[in-house]
Structure 1
Amino acid sequence: MIDPYVMLGVERQADAEAIKAAYRKAAKSSHPDTGGDVAQFSRLQACYELLKDPVRRKVYDSTGYDPQLADPIDLKGILMLETLVSDFILDEREPGSFDPVAAMRRKLSDDIVKSRFHILELERHRARVRQHIDRLGRRPAADILGSMLRTRSQSIADAIRNAEIQIEAIEQAYTLLEGYAYELEALPEVKAAE
């Protein structure tokens, strides 16, 4: 996540005029017409747009998050956490009687294992399809079966890549949980029978 205050070089308490002045100064050196990097200038503009909008700025200041400045993998991780948060909010157990953060970590770890197993299965299927392609005699005029098998192999390769992207998002969600701890209620001590 890009910090718009750092990007523009202003304090968090900066007013609209200070933000505008900082943007203009930074834009002079980073504008593509003056030899600046297009991507860097685009990020600078996005930061300025966030800070000049009072509502977006307030949300960012409260949460440290703005969807337009977030990395796509971060967004996917956040969406995964959103689902997990919904799950533990709906859990009927009393707050403090279970650790929802640990439960989210376990769920994410389980999802990574399942995704990796799924990739292994897909790779096994793709290898089999390739072996069939290698053994298939081709007809000179049209190679319908070969075309179908190559298409299937490509579809499996795409599924593998999607599973790898899913793992990256799960790992990012897990990273976003770092530093969180959940305080459980102390269990009452059981007195020994006399």
Structure 2
Amino acid sequence: MLGLERDADETAIKAAYRKKVKSAHPDTGGDPDEFGRITTSYDLLKDPVRRKVYDDTGYDPQLADVADLKGLVVLESLINDMILDEREPGSFDPVAALRRKLTDDVLKSRFNILELERHRGRIRQHVDRLGRRPEKDVLGSMLRARTQSISEAIKAAEAQIDAIERAYSMLEGYSYELMPLERPEDNDVSEEEDSAEDDAFSEATIGPPKAAE
């Protein structure tokens, strides 16, 4: 919007904003929508924290959808796995690996929810079966508090699933180019060595050739 380089400093940002805003200001006949976008861009770039997040992710932390920001946090936690993988780039598909990891995390979270719901149901049954209770129902209060804690844990797990699914959607459209598989003729093996290996393999699998009658 401001025509700036990525590494523009504060002075360059201010100069570009003042130049743009002169012609875009509604009081001088400019487009209000364009003026708003220019002002938003300036506000983002002069805030070092917002600018850092935008440079790293392409999202403005103050204007982006909260669900998108949560998805970014999930992806950020997996990026190190991609970077630290010692396999040769091109020999494996890191994008597919990210998708598999996200899918596994969703399944684990859903299983965790099922377990939490099972425990909550058991606690509620205990509460319902308590007979006469003293004036201060300490046991009932503890059980109900535990039920509330489990309910909050279920909500947190459901929110985590939403974040993981949003992160997965952010990977849509990505592909990764793998190195072509090495062809047999590319190997540095002579024809004589190939023939010897073939003879050895044949002898090991079907036995030595029969003598001529």
TM over 0.5: yes
Instruction: Describe the shift of the 1:73–1:59 C-alpha distance in structure 2 as closer, same or farther (beyond 3 A).
Output: closer
2-side partners of 1:23 and 1:148: how far apart?
Answer: 62
2:184 aligns to what SS in structure 1? coil
Instruction: Check whether the contact 1:46–1:69 (CA below 8 A) recurs between aligned residues.
Output: no
State yes or no: 1:151 paired with 2:152.
Answer: no
Stretches of structure 1 that go unaligned for 5 or more consecutive residues are 1-10, 30-40
* CA positional deviation for 1:46: 6.1
Q: Deviations over 1:76-113 (max 9, x none)?
A: 21122112111111111000000000000000000001
2-side partners of 1:20 and 1:97: how far apart?
Answer: 53
Aligned counterpart, 1:98? 92
Instruction: Check whether the contact 1:115–1:167 (CA below 8 A) recurs between aligned residues.
Output: yes
Q: Spell out the pairing of 1:39-188 with structure 2 (5 A cutoff).
A: 49-50=43-44, 53=46, 60=54, 63-188=57-182
TM-score normalized by the length of structure 1: 0.72
Q: Deviations over 1:27-53 (max 9, x none)?
A: xx9xxxxxxxxxxx9xx98666215x2
1-side partners of 2:127 and 2:148: how far apart?
Answer: 12
TM-score normalized by the length of structure 2: 0.66
Q: Deviations over 1:155-187 (max 9, x none)?
A: 000000000000011001101111111110011
1-side partners of 2:75 and 2:39: how far apart?
Answer: 29
Instruction: Describe the shift of the 1:183–1:132 C-alpha distance in structure 2 as closer, same or farther (beyond 3 A).
Output: same
| Higher RCO (CA 8 Å, separation ≥ 6 residues) | 1
Matched residues, percent identical? 61
Q: Deviations over 1:130-156 (max 9, x none)?
A: 111110124241111110010000000
Q: Which residue identity does 1:154 align to in structure 2?
A: Q
Alpha carbon RMSD of aligned pairs, Å?
A: 3.4
Instruction: Check whether the contact 2:71–2:166 (CA below 8 A) recurs between aligned residues.
Output: yes
Instruction: Describe the shift of the 1:79–1:24 C-alpha distance in structure 2 as closer, same or farther (beyond 3 A).
Output: farther
Instruction: Check whether the contact 2:53–2:61 (CA below 8 A) recurs between aligned residues.
Output: no
Aligned counterpart, 2:198? none
2-side partners of 1:20 and 1:133: how far apart?
Answer: 70
Instruction: Check whether the contact 1:77–1:172 (CA below 8 A) recurs between aligned residues.
Output: yes
Stretches of structure 2 that go unaligned for 5 or more consecutive residues are 5-15, 186-193, 196-213
* CA positional deviation for 1:189: 1.5
Instruction: Check whether the contact 1:47–1:69 (CA below 8 A) recurs between aligned residues.
Output: no
2:59 aligns to what SS in structure 1? coil
Aligned counterpart, 1:6? none
1-side partners of 2:171 and 2:102: how far apart?
Answer: 10
Structure 1 stretch displaced more, 161-170 or 79-88: 79-88
2-side partners of 1:182 and 1:123: how far apart?
Answer: 40
Q: Which residue identity does 2:167 align to in structure 1?
A: A
